[in-house]
């Protein structure tokens, strides 16, 4: 049993020695353990083009009070019923374009037409009575000159003529009112636009004041914003406004203040400011969208950096600077973002004139060498002599 134990021990020692030699050979004579979390700079240079670089410089930075609100049309009409009647037909739906004078809603006009016929008949009868009284008055007035009739008789006929004329005028007014009521059974578009909110359907009973539908003009969009009352002293008509509209991503819009409400809201203590789009072709075609931005009341020179050159790593922000053809990872302290350009204010970390990578990749290594690609020379076709 003792001899067998020695044989097993010698075999295990031999296996350990062979394994250690194999591991040493696999690492090589100059192999070294890399430090955990540290990337060594490769010997191969990174080739980049001049278009991938940007140079930091001072830019005009807009500042001013914040403004929030919504996009609304300046021309909008709420069509409401003016008579009590049943809705017979609704000819337009939400989103349908309309032209000025187009018929949109038709109400039942049966009772109103009957009233109109009765009023016109009364007006004709009153007109006949007036004409008859006038002719009688003219005859008696001639007889009065010859002394055949008395003055009292002529005055009595004149009074009857005047009363008949009053009845005729009243009958004409009733007929005109009935005619207007008949016209009010048809709701027509007040201007060229689009139907934005249909409120009734065929068969509904419309009472005076009931909303039928809304028509808006998409070409008259504006930014109806609100500014805090403690900042309204800086706001003036004609100042530029830079804002973004929810639903349009990072697209920036520009406008100018056309009107400042002279009274603040008693509850919110905010002042309404109306802003017209600088480019009417760029305005949205949807009303009611939320918008927010800044009123440019002042402009200062500040060192800015575009958002594309920034890299976020948790709470830290850094950029990749190129110095002596070597990449350097530089930590930054940034401030607010300029609404107009989208760039951030650079507080510390870089200086004017520093060259940065415009669109840094995630595979860059601090200390890596950089080689600028030489732009290719365009071929020039020689003219034949």
| Residue pLDDT, tens place only, 330-359 | 999 998 877 667 788 888 899 999 999 999
> Can you spell out the DSSP letters for 119-179?
HHHHHHHHHHHHHHHHHHHHHHHHHHHHTSS-HHHHHHHHHHHHHHHHHHHHHHHHHHHHH
> Can you spell out the DSSP letters for 272-287?
EEEEEES-GGGS-S-T
Give me 258's structure tokens: 């056309």
How far separated are the first and last CA of the chain, in Å rounded?
A: 107
| CATH fold group of domain 46-59+301-372 | 2.40.420
More confident position, 239 or 315: 239
Nearest to 317 by CA among 304, 303, 330: 330
> Does the predicted TM-score (pTM) go above 0.85?
no
Hey, how many other C-beta atoms are within 10 angstroms of the C-beta on 33?
A: 6
Give me 297's structure tokens: 């009341």
User: Could you tell me if 63 and 297 are in contact, meaning their C-beta atoms sit under 8 angstroms apart?
Assistant: yes
Mean pLDDT of 190-219: 94
pLDDT at 48: 84
Summarize pLDDT for 75-101 with one digit per residue, the tens.
999 999 999 999 999 999 999 999 999
pLDDT above 70 covers a percentage of the chain that reads 85
Nearest to 69 by CA among 311, 299, 293: 293
Please identify, in words, the CATH class of the domain defined by 66-75+218-296.
mainly beta
CATH number of 109-184: 1.10.287
Nearest to 276 by CA among 76, 73, 68, 66: 73
| pLDDT tier, 34 (very low <50, low <70, confident <90, very high otherwise) | very low
| pLDDT tier, 378 (very low <50, low <70, confident <90, very high otherwise) | low
Summarize pLDDT for 59-75 with one digit per residue, the tens.
877 778 999 999 999 99
Residues 81 and 147: their CA atoms lie apart, in Å, by: 62
CATH number of 82-104+190-216: 2.40.50.100
pLDDT at 92: 94
pLDDT at 19 over 80: no
pLDDT at 45 over 80: no
- In this chain, the answer to whether the domains covering 82-104+190-216 and 109-184 adopt an identical fold is no
Residues 90 and 20: their CA atoms lie apart, in Å, by: 92
CA 194 to chain centre: 17
What stretch of H or E contains 11? helix 2-27
More confident position, 146 or 371: 371
More confident position, 148 or 380: 148
Residue 249 vs residues 26, 65, 245, 246: alpha-carbon distances, Å: 55, 22, 7, 7
What stretch of H or E contains 301? strand 298-305
pLDDT at 221: 95
Summarize pLDDT for 104-160 with one digit per residue, the tens.
999 999 998 999 999 999 999 999 999 999 998 888 888 887 777 788 888 888 898
Non-local (6+) Cβ contacts of 347 within 8 A are 332, 333, 334, 335
Sign of CA dihedral 294, 298, 299, 302: negative
> Can you spell out the DSSP letters for 316-357?
EEEEEEEETTEEEEEEEEEEEEPTTT-PEEEEES--TT-EEE
What is the Cβ-side half-sphere exposure of residue 240, based on CA atoms within 13 angstroms? 13
pLDDT at 384 over 90: no
Range list of H helices, 147-274: 151-183
The full set of domain ranges for the chain reads 46-59+301-372, 66-75+218-296, 82-104+190-216, 109-184
pLDDT at 372 over 50: yes
pLDDT at 36: 42
Q: Which residues of 308-319 are buried (b: 16+ CB within 10 A; e: fewer)?
A: ebbbeeeeebbb
Residues 351 and 330: their CA atoms lie apart, in Å, by: 11
């Amino acid at each position: 049993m003792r001899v067998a134990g020695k044989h097993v021990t010698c075999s295990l020692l031999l296996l350990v020695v062979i394994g250690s030699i194999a591991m040493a050979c696999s690492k090589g004579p100059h192999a070294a353990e890399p430090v955990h979390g540290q990337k060594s700079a490769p010997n191969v240079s990174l080739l980049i083009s001049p278009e991938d670089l940007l140079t930091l410089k001072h830019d005009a930075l807009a500042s001013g009070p914040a403004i929030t609100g919504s996009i609304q049309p300046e021309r909008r009409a709420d069509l409401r019923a003016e008579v009590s009647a049943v809705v017979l037909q609704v000819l337009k739906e939400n989103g349908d374009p309309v032209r000025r004078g187009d018929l949109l809603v038709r109400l039942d006009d049966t009772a109103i037409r009957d009233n109109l016929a009765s009023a016109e008949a009364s007006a004709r009868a009153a007109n006949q009575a007036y004409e008859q009284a006038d002719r009688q008055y003219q005859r008696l007035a001639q007889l009065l000159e010859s002394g055949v009739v008395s003055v009292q008789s002529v005055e009595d006929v004149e009074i009857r003529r005047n009363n008949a004329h009053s009845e005729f005028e009243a009958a004409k007014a009733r007929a005109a009112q009935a005619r207007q009521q008949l016209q009010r059974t048809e709701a027509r578009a007040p201007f060229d636009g689009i139907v934005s909110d249909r409120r009734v359907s065929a068969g509904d009973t419309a009472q005076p004041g009931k909303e039928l539908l809304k028509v808006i003009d998409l070409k008259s969009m504006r930014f109806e914003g609100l500014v805090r009352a403690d900042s309204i002293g800086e706001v003036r008509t004609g100042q530029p406004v830079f804002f973004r509209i929810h639903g349009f991503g990072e697209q920036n819009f520009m406008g100018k203040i056309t009107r400042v409400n002279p009274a603040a809201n008693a509850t919110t203590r905010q002042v309404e400011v109306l802003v017209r789009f600088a480019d009417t072709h760029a305005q949205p075609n949807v009303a009611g969208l939320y918008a927010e931005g800044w009123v440019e009341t002042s402009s200062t020179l500040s060192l800015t950096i575009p958002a594309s050159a920034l890299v976020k790593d948790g709470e830290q922000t850094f950029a990749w600077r190129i110095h002596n053809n070597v990449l350097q990872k530089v930590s930054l302290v940034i401030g607010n973002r300029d609404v107009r350009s989208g760039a951030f204010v650079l507080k510390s970390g870089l200086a004017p004139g520093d060259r940065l990578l415009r669109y840094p990749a995630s595979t860059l290594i601090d200390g890596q060498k950089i080689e600028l690609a030489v732009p290719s020379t365009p071929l020039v076709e020689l003219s034949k002599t």
